[in-house]
Structure 1
């Protein structure tokens, strides 16, 4: 195990170095930046700022400086927000994490239950209805679902607030604040769950169909075990093994999958900040967030391999 971890960590470092160079060059060679696009600055002031922030240096030299600072926990300074990039991450990323972790929990819970029942009742009316709903949810754009839910639950029924994280001007604390946040996050969580539910439910359904045809499932039924125990204890445990590989993609998806949703519901998360940075060409923030997603991706793939080994000791790393 230790040898495997050393090799994987070495590969991860190499991959991250290559990714950092690609990310930096991608934004460095993109025409324009925050300073050149600011019409309020005089040409003299623009040149002065470019010298202060080192934007007039060669690309490789700027990359070396950026990487050196990154090793010390400094991913640059956001010119648009006038704050360090890591400080902005700390202010916004936990809001995105709250949305993502709750929607992921409901997505996996509902997908497992529906996938098992649909596989058990294959080709039934329930299975056909579920597949139609799944394909419909996968084919409808996220912004349309979001606007539709806002129209229904916020405008017409007035059950839930249309956006934001708290009510404007609210000074709620304690349980009142928690209740307010839950009410505001209900709609974006519903949209994110619906968008992720389709593919994951199909995945569990197909895995369960393959597993329940195995000999050991027929043996468990022949021993007189209850069908619920056969499905959720014996079959589901083995059907979950291939799904563990999806964990590697879930980790970066926690922060990268809610960009449009946060914009629609005006949720103060890192996704909305990332989207607004494009219009202002705030490249330090864009580079920092993209590098953060790259780090989460390589960590997620390592975790998925280790979890697969723990779940199935027969697997060799």
Structure 2
């Protein structure tokens, strides 16, 4: 295990090094930047700022400086926001993490339950209803569902606030603050859960159908075990094994934010900040965030491999 982890860590360093070159080159070679596109600045002031932030140097020199600073935990300075990139991450990323963590828990919880029941009652009316709902959820665009729920639950019925994380001008603290945040995050969580639960339910359903047909499931039933124990102790445990590989993609999504959902509901997360940075050509923030997602992706891949080995010792890590 230790040898495998050391080997994978070496590969991760090489992958991240290649990713850093690609990410930096992509943004550095893109025409224009925040300074050159700012019409409020005079040519003299633009030249002064470009020299101050090292934008007058060659791409290779700028990459080496950026990489050196990144290794020391400095991903640059956001010219548009006038703050260090890491300070902006700390300010916005936890809002996205809160939204994504709650959504991920609900999505997996609902998908596992519905997937198991649909597989057990294959071709029943419940299974048919689930499959229709899955395809309907996967075919409707996220912005349409979001705007529809805002119109229905926020505007017409006035059950929930239409967006943002707090009510404008609110100074709530303690439990009142928690309650207000929960109310504001309910709508985006509903939309994100509806979008995610469809494909995941289909995944669990197909895995459960394959596992239920195995010989050891028939043996467990022949021993007289209760059907609930057969399903949730024997079948579900093995059906969940392939899903461990999805953890590698879940980790970046927890911190990556949802670009469309955060924009629709004005949620102050990293996804909305990322979209704003595109329009402002705030490349230091874009490079830092993209590199951060790349780091989370390789860590998530390693974590999924290790967890798969722990869950199924028959899998050897080489």
TM over 0.5: yes
Shift of 1:255: 2.9
- The aligned residue for residue 174 of structure 1 is 174
The 2-side partners of 1:131 and 1:215 are apart by 27
Do 2:217 and 2:230's aligned partners in 1 also have CA atoms closer than 8 Å?
A: yes
Q: 1:146-185 to 2 correspondence within 5 Å?
A: 146-185=146-185
Q: List per-residue Cα deviations over 1:8-59 (Å, max 9, x = no partner).
A: 0000000000000000000011110000000000001101100000111110
- The reply on whether 1:67 has 2:67 as its aligned counterpart is yes
Do 1:78 and 1:85's aligned partners in 2 also have CA atoms closer than 8 Å?
A: yes
What SS does the corresponding residue of 1:166 show, helix, strand or coil?
Answer: coil
Q: List per-residue Cα deviations over 1:75-128 (Å, max 9, x = no partner).
A: 000000000000000000000000000000000000000000000011111111
Shift of 1:257: 5.0
Change (3 A) 1:93 1:257: closer
The 1-side partners of 2:218 and 2:257 are apart by 40
- The aligned residue for residue 124 of structure 1 is 124
The 1-side partners of 2:58 and 2:140 are apart by 45
- Structure 2 residue runs of 5 or longer lacking an equivalent are none
- The aligned residue for residue 84 of structure 1 is 84
Shift of 1:195: 1.0
What SS does the corresponding residue of 1:235 show, helix, strand or coil?
Answer: helix
After TM superposition, the runs of 4+ consecutive aligned structure 1 residues lying more than 3 A away are: none
Shift of 1:261: 0.6
Do 2:97 and 2:257's aligned partners in 1 also have CA atoms closer than 8 Å?
A: no
- The reply on whether 1:190 has 2:195 as its aligned counterpart is no
Two-structure CA RMSD over aligned residues (Å): 0.7
Do 2:96 and 2:256's aligned partners in 1 also have CA atoms closer than 8 Å?
A: no
- The aligned residue for residue 206 of structure 2 is 206
- The reply on whether 1:38 has 2:31 as its aligned counterpart is no
- The aligned residue for residue 57 of structure 1 is 57
- The aligned residue for residue 95 of structure 1 is 95
The 2-side partners of 1:190 and 1:257 are apart by 15
Q: 1:11-50 to 2 correspondence within 5 Å?
A: 11-50=11-50
The 2-side partners of 1:233 and 1:278 are apart by 48
Do 1:107 and 1:193's aligned partners in 2 also have CA atoms closer than 8 Å?
A: yes
TM-score (norm 2): 0.99
Do 2:115 and 2:202's aligned partners in 1 also have CA atoms closer than 8 Å?
A: yes
Do 1:92 and 1:270's aligned partners in 2 also have CA atoms closer than 8 Å?
A: yes
Shift of 1:198: 1.1
TM-score (norm 1): 0.99
Do 1:255 and 1:271's aligned partners in 2 also have CA atoms closer than 8 Å?
A: no
Do 2:262 and 2:268's aligned partners in 1 also have CA atoms closer than 8 Å?
A: yes
What SS does the corresponding residue of 2:111 show, helix, strand or coil?
Answer: helix
Do 1:146 and 1:264's aligned partners in 2 also have CA atoms closer than 8 Å?
A: yes
Shift of 1:256: 2.9
What SS does the corresponding residue of 2:241 show, helix, strand or coil?
Answer: helix
- Structure 1 residue runs of 5 or longer lacking an equivalent are none
- The aligned residue for residue 217 of structure 2 is 217
- The aligned residue for residue 279 of structure 2 is 279
